[in-house]
Structure 1
Amino acid sequence: MIDFTVVDLSRLQFAATALYHFLFVPLTLGLSFLLAIMESVYVMTGRDIWRRMTLFWGTLFGINFAMGVATGIVMEFQFGMNWAYYSHYVGDIFGAPLAIEGLMAFFLEATFIGIFFFGWDRLPKVGHLAVTWLVALGANFSALWILIANGWMQNPVGAVFNPDTMRMEVVDFAAVIFNPVAQAKFVHTVSAGYVTGSIFVMAISAYFLLKGKHKDLAKRSMAVAASFGLASSLSVVVLGDESGYLATEHQKMKIAAMESMWQTEPAPADLNVVAWPNQAEHRNDGELKVPYLLGLIATRSISTPLPGITELVGRAEHNIRDGITAYTALQEIRANPNNQAARNVFAQSWHNLGYGLLLKRYVDKIDQATDAQITQAAWDTVPSVTPLFWSFRIMVGLGFYFILFFAVAFYLSARGQIGNSRLLLKIALYSLPLPWVAVEVGWLVAEYGRQPWIIEGVLPTFYAASGLTMVDLAISLGFFLILYTTLAIIEVFLLVKVIKHGPAEGNPLSPSFPASPHLPVGAAAGPER
């Protein structure tokens, strides 16, 4: 029987390392494009202040990039360490995008970031600008391939289960790459990173302006971040809506749980703005609704019904019974590979094999499961509703806040008053942690909302864990928490040190950047031009 304490510790360890890692990723994505924009202005205008802006924000980018690499490499080892059966079961599909990410994207990014820092006096301006854009593209290509892998876990397309190898195998790699869920997740996620980078630049620039330091650099930085952030925040909301629409097609239970919708309502369904989910009794103890809004958003129609949790549990029960048929046929194939009748049965029902495996939580031989166990396994397909419901609303609320914030900042920037409003500057400074709150709760909605599946409808999470002991996991979990916390503290310390020193030439944590070869000696450290 499965040791669920080991499974829970494995999940906790991966969740902790993923949450830590995702502290660094969004800022890398956002700053990379902001650097490219700033250096583009420098190349077009020749004004050295834009070069110094690129150097300053590039130093902060470099610190964050190094920490992101350190935390990301460790995460990948967990697939073989904590989730060995998962790696065996779907390694042919999941491993391919990760391998391409390392070969095509990460090496591109890691190679050119060194040239970005040390090539200022060795490359012409246009050549160095091309390097900066390649760093930005590498960072985003890296996110693309990782999210293709993750998107397949949400919507497993282009693969079939091979009863002879007992593994999922690719039959259509193009379907894996162009998976609509992966594409929507990619644009939504990188847009969230752009918002994070924009808020970061806005907050640090606001700090400078409130202190009366580096005003010219700070105002220009805020103007760029306000424009980029407004476009990005609008993109986050629009593409978040697209991601939700696709989840309505492929992950109906996640949508029902996010909205705490226990019963199927007449189309179009009402939206619960506020609700107090009662999972034990399968109802809400209280709720505040907006009529028709959920149906219009989730289905983009007035006639398409949105299934509630109870109806979806009934569908899961049917799938579990079909999964028992698939499991029984699979056992017959393993006993006699030449049993064509069993192969025909399995070919018709293998899509629900994962639902049958949910019964392994309660009985070793799933073909002997009772009706009560089947019903219990069907209710296991419902994730914990309360954290999903409120996490989603925090994410959406912050999304609309960012649109309002950047719209005001853009308006003031267009009027040349970006640094004159102390209220806006204080709001910008205090908003610094908010994009990280948004991306972390967004991650919770995406990943925790998929439970009990590690691969939606294909492989239960508890079935994918390695056969480790509690001691093994406790030691590794403690080590990772100490390591990641240390790295986070180091990053904050280094960022604060660079920010306090300011964007002047000769920053002690920057490479030794020479004065611009396009200006007289000493001009770079003089007045802005």
Structure 2
Amino acid sequence: MTSMAVVELSRLQFALTALYHFLFVPLTLGLSFILVIMESVYVITDRPIWRDITRFWAKVFGINFVLGVATGLTMEFEFGMNWSYYSHYVGDVFGAPLAIEGLMAFFLEATFVGVMFFGWDRLSKRGHLLTTIMVALGSNLSAVWILIANGWMQHPVGSVFNPATMRMEVTDFIAVIFNPVAQAKFVHTVSAGYVCASVFVLGISAFYLLKGRHVEFARRSFTVAAAFGLASSLSVVVLGDESGYTLTENQQMKLAAIEGMWHTEPSPAGLAIFGIPSNSGRSTDYEIKIPYVMGLIATRGISGEVAGIFPLVARARGRIVNGVTAYDAVEKLKVDPKNLVAREAFERTKGDLGYALLLKRFVTDPRTADSATIDKAAWSTVPNVAAMFWMFRVMAGLGFGFIAFFATAFILSSRRVFDQRWFLRTAVIVMPLPWLAIELGWIIAEIGRQPWAVDGVLPTFLGASSLNVPQIWATIIGFTLLYGILAFIEVRLMLATIRKGPERYVPWQPRETAQPHPLHAIPAE
């Protein structure tokens, strides 16, 4: 088995690249639809200023898009480099959405991005708007398939372990696509991206208004971002509530960790707004709770229970014991595929096979594990409760804060009041906060799944490649240097574009027929 040092370093490397990649994805998702809104206004009104606005934000979108693509490709390579057994074990299921994302969504997006940038003079207004819509559609379709893959890791459906191939295989691809966890993650994630882009556009617009530059451009961008951001921030909270409801059915340990709930409470459970959880002490001290709220969110009623960590650990222990039977049956079927007794035992207990694999962290053969080892494996299913508890509350607090922020912006823009300097300064200051909330959300999703690479199917420590520590450190350092250089270049390009501001659009003409544009005419002396 791969050493835990290699496993933890591989996790660190993937976490760093994923978090870095996710700096660009939300802005791409949100800006794509903001561009659609702005260009639609241009097509409807035929006012040149909206064309200038669209072209400016499209330039910002393009700078961000390039680096998002570069970092995303690296992540896919890491599945083969650092997580080869994971790729072998679940590749038949996990690989399908990734392949579809590349063939259907990424190529669609990449193709139309080029047309969007170079087609202003070669397409009609409506034709170019259709191109921008296709870019937005491609961006969001990419997110659909990526989150279907990730949703399957959180809640594996439509698949089964085949003892003949020793791999997970698809049995119902429709179930994989319409996985309830994947659906909840998609709508919540893209809404967060829309909030991120709205804050970004609003912040840059506020910067221009503070400086008294490009005022008409900034006011219009401010208005679009305020309206789109308010709708998006409301949807983030509503869809986040739906994600909480999905956790109740499919990821109960994650929900219990987020709430620091060690024991099942009488229904309906209260929502903890403060507490000090401890994995070592297996308790949450100094709790302050709002009665009934957690039960209403998680069960949509007043009679449903939210399971606590202790009963969930007891349930995991039972599944480990049951999984040892499945593991034993698989070992016998490897020797004699026609063993009917082993086949019957496997079919009866195959749903718990992954739980037996948790024992491999402590013993070579799960069948030799004693009661104390089984207890240790059962408690390993509890993620870092303190981290989950506090990161979720920071993320949720920011989410509600964005609603107030955009509501204020919407009121000001509706009244055409763009000179409130206190709000303009606030809009610039809060620009990093959506990224903080989004990164925290991604960390919560991934830490909350631990110790699983695929929940209930494959423990994380079994999925890593047979590498050594120096090899992983070399790639971590290499990626950090490369991405650091790329980030420096992107920030310089972004700042240069923002400093320059929007340009007055001059239609392109063939060189041999080009005439001096009236704006460039030199007055006669």
Pick the TM interval, shorter chain.
over 0.9
Matched, 1:64 2:64: yes
- Name structure 2 gaps, 5 residues minimum: 510-514
Once the 2 structures are TM-superposed, how far is the Cα of residue 514 of structure 1 from its aligned partner? 3.7
CA, structure 1 residues 525+57, in 2 after alignment: closer, same or farther (shift >3 Å)? farther
Give the superposition deviation at 1:2.
3.7
Measured on the aligned residues, the alpha-carbon RMSD in Å equals: 1.5
Is the 1:48–1:524 Cα contact (8 Å) retained in structure 2? no
* Structure-2 residue corresponding to 1:426: 425
TM-score norm. by structure 1 comes to 0.96
Which amino acid is 2:338 matched to? Answer: N
Match of 2:512 in 1: none
Give the 3 Å change call, closer, same or farther, for CA 437–331 of structure 1 in structure 2. same
> Separation in 2 of the partners of 1:435 and 1:352?
39
- Residues 2 and 465 in structure 2, CA contact (< 8 A), matched pair in contact too: no
Q: How far apart, CA to CA, are the structure 1 residues paired with 2:181 and 2:241?
A: 12
Structure 1 segment 274-285 matched on structure 2, within 5 A: 274-285=274-285
The SS at the match of 1:10 is helix
- The residue identity in structure 2 corresponding to 1:501 is K
1:192 aligns with 2:204: no
Deviations 1:217-253 (CA, angstroms, capped at 9, x unpaired) = 0000010011111111111111111111101111000
Q: Residues 505 and 525 of structure 1 are in contact (CA less than 8 Å); yes or no, is this contact kept in structure 2?
A: no
Conserved 8 A contact 1:43-1:125 = yes
Contact 2:2 2:464 in 1 (8 A): no
How far has the Cα of 1:505 moved from its partner? Answer: 3.6
**Counterpart in the other structure of 1:437:** 436
Letter in 2 for 1:320: I
Partner of 1:509: none
For 1:312 and 1:432, the matched residues in 2 are separated by 40
Inter-partner Cα distance in structure 2 for 1:85 and 1:326: 20
- Measure how far apart 1:294 and its partner are: 1.0
Q: AA paired with 1:118?
A: F
Aligned to 1:500: 499
Contact in 1 for aligned 2:2/2:466 (Cα 8 Å): no
- What residue in structure 2 maps to residue 452 of structure 1? 451
Which residue of 1 is the match for residue 166 of structure 2?
Answer: 166
Query: The residue matched to 1:306 in structure 2 has which SS?
Result: coil
C-alpha displacement of 1:459 = 0.5
> Moved runs in structure 1, 4+ residues, more than 4 A?
520-526
Residues 1:473 and 2:472 aligned together: yes
Secondary structure (helix, strand or coil) at the match of 1:23 reads coil
Deviation at 1:386, TM superposition (A): 1.0
CA distance in 2, matches of 1:120, 1:524: 19
The answer as to 2:367 corresponding to 1:374 is: no
Query: Using the alignment, how far apart are the partners of 2:174 and 2:279 within structure 1?
Result: 40
Deviation at 1:523, TM superposition (A): 7.2
CA distance in 1, matches of 2:360, 2:384: 20
Q: 1:505 touches 1:524 (CA, 8 Å); kept in 2?
A: no
Letter aligned with residue 381 of structure 2: T
Paired with 1:442 and 1:9, the residues of 2 have a C-alpha distance of: 22
1:444 maps to amino acid = I
Provide the secondary structure at the position in 1 that maps to 2:169. Answer: strand
**Structure-1 separation of matches of 2:266 and 2:113:** 55
CA distance in 1, matches of 2:379, 2:502: 57
Q: What secondary structure is seen at the aligned counterpart in 2 of 1:273?
A: strand
Which residue is equivalent to 1:265? 265
Q: Where does residue 302 of structure 2 map in the other structure?
A: 302
Give the total of aligned pairs: 516
Say whether 1:490 aligns with 2:489: yes
Unaligned runs of 5+ in 1: 507-511
Aligned to 2:217: 217
How many angstroms does 1:84 deviate by? 0.4
The offset of 1:95, in angstroms, is 0.6
Structure 2 CA distance for aligned equivalents of residues 249 and 523 of structure 1:
66
Deviation of the 1:426 alpha carbon: 0.9
| Correspondence for 1:364 | 364
1:215 alignment partner AA: V
- Asked if the contact 2:383/2:449 (under 8 Å) is kept, the reply is yes
Flag the 1:454–1:476 CA change in 2: closer, same or farther, 3 A: same
- C-alpha separation in 1, matches of 2:316 and 2:124: 62
Deviation (angstroms), 1:446: 0.6
Q: Which deviates more, 374-383 or 386-395?
A: 386-395
Give the aligned residue type for 1:349. Answer: T
The verdict on how the C-alpha distance between 1:50 and 1:260 changes in structure 2, with shifts beyond 3 A counting, is same
- Is 2:270–2:289's contact at 8 Å kept on the other side of the alignment? yes
Assess if the C-alpha contact under 8 Å between 1:148 and 1:176 holds in 2: yes
Deviation at 1:513, TM superposition (A): 6.5
Equivalences for 1:234-383 in 2 at 5 Å?
A: 234-383=234-383
Distance 1:2 1:369 in 2: 19
The SS at the match of 2:22 is: helix
- Following TM superposition, by how much is the alpha carbon of 1:488 offset from its aligned partner in structure 2, in angstroms? 1.7
1:424 Cα deviation (Å)? 1.3
Q: CA deviation at 1:297?
A: 1.1
* Counterpart amino acid of residue 150 in structure 1: N
Task: In structure 1, give the amino acid aligned to 2:449.
Answer: R
Closer/same/farther in 2, CA of residues 504 and 480 from structure 1, 3 Å limit: same
Query: Greater shift after overlay, 176-185 or 18-27?
Result: 176-185
Question: SS in structure 1 opposite 2:466?
Answer: coil
- Offset from partner CA, 1:29-76 (integer Å, 9 cap, x none): 010000111011001111000000001001000000000011011110
Matches within 5 A, 1:365-404: 365-404=365-404
